[in-house]
């Protein structure tokens, strides 16, 4: 079974799933984060409905603790749009970690995460379906290393999937090394943003560990229909790695969402990108990336 903001469902009920999105976000009031602020519920619902109308079933909202997470509003979006939404526990890279982490022992942080996983988030006790961690660009800070160790232990004990933030696509292998050292199950770990590396060999090394990857920076090169990402995916499929690839958009900015006046919108992966991919790979391979692989990673 898999936790959604409206309750537990079977993995067979997920349908087409994007494993890394942001559906409601209010990080802070800083001007540089205005484009990342998605707080108009009506627009958010409209965007999610466009995903559903294109055939979508489930969205994993990767907004973690201290970054404007709101499971109650995610539940409202899910109810209004008629789809599954999964929320997360866990922390982002150090830049967005709460200051109070510095004064907490490892055990207290571990207990906090376990409490959310077992008892739910907030007064409504909404259960997270995954856990997030993040690292900085080309480095893992001491604070990030600490969270990797703690969350790896939590994953080992609670059997909750981990979906990570690899800043600029970097530090993926280092994240996995840290998680493996504390006993995490890498078959239920998915590394986000690694397509930004534009390095198929690097991505294949990640997949060789048993972990999966999210191609989630599609829709940024519309002028050539994401030709590079399509080529990379086709190469990975040809090399035998299709079972380790998930597709998502990480479209947590106004400029990417049609409802906010941006593009390409949440439906893009199921429309234009699908068309481009099916020129290179089979329908079965595409279905694995949007349905089978996310379900396997998220299943506890």
Report DSSP letters for 156-186, one per residue.
Answer: HHH---EEEEEGGG-SHHHHHHHHHHTT--G
Distance of alpha carbon 154 from alpha carbon 113, whole angstroms = 7
The yes-or-no verdict on residue 50 having pLDDT over 90 is yes
| CATH number of the domain within which 211 lies | 3.20.20.140
Which residues lie closer than 8 Å to 94 by C-beta, 6 or more apart? 136, 141, 143, 144
User: What is the pairing mode between strands 84-86 and 56-61?
Assistant: parallel
Which residues are paired to 59 by β-bridges? 18, 85
pLDDT at residue 29 in the model: 78
Distance of alpha carbon 245 from alpha carbon 196, whole angstroms = 14
The yes-or-no verdict on residue 176 having pLDDT over 90 is yes
pLDDT at residue 245 in the model: 98
From the list 7, 51, 9, 44, the residue with the least C-alpha distance to 26 is: 44
Q: Classify residue 240 as exposed, middle or buried by CB count within 10 Å of its CB (0-12, 13-18, 19+).
A: exposed
* Domain that residue 202 falls in: 2-298
Q: Across all residues in the chain, what is the average pLDDT?
A: 97
- pTM given for the model: 0.96
30: pLDDT confidence band, cut at 50, 70 and 90? confident
Q: How many domains does the chain have?
A: 1
């Amino acid at each position: 079974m898999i936790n959604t903001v409206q309750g537990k469902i079977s993995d067979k009920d997920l349908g087409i799933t994007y494993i890394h999105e942001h559906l409601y976000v209010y990080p802070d009031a800083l001007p540089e984060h205005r484009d990342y602020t998605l707080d108009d519920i009506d627009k958010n619902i409209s965007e999610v409905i466009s995903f559903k109308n294109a055939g979508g079933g489930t969205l994993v909202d990767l907004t973690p603790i201290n970054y404007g997470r709101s499971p109650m509003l995610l539940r409202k979006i899910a109810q209004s749009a008629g789809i599954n939404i999964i929320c997360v526990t866990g922390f982002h890279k150090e830049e967005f970690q709460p200051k109070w982490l510095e004064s907490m022992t490892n055990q207290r942080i571990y207990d906090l995460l376990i409490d959310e996983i077992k008892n739910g988030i907030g007064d409504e006790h909404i259960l997270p379906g995954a856990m997030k961690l993040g690292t900085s660009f080309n480095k893992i800070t001491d604070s990030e290393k600490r969270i990797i160790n703690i969350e790896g232990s939590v994953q080992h004990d609670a059997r909750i999937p981990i979906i990570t933030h690899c800043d600029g696509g970097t530090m993926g292998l280092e994240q996995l090394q840290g998680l493996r050292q504390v006993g995490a199950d890498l078959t239920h770990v998915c590394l986000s943003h690694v397509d930004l590396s534009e390095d198929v060999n690097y991505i294949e090394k990640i997949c060789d560990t048993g972990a999966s990857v999210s191609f989630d920076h599609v829709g940024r090169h519309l002028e050539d229909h994401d030709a590079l990402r399509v080529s990379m995916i086709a190469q990975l499929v040809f090399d035998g790695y299709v079972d380790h690839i998930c597709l998502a958009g990480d479209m947590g900015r106004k400029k990417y969402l049609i409802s906010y006046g941006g593009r390409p919108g949440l439906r893009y992966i199921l429309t234009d990108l699908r068309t481009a991919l099916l020129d290179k790979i089979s329908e079965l391979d595409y279905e694995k990336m949007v349905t089978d692989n996310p379900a396997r990673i998220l299943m506890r």
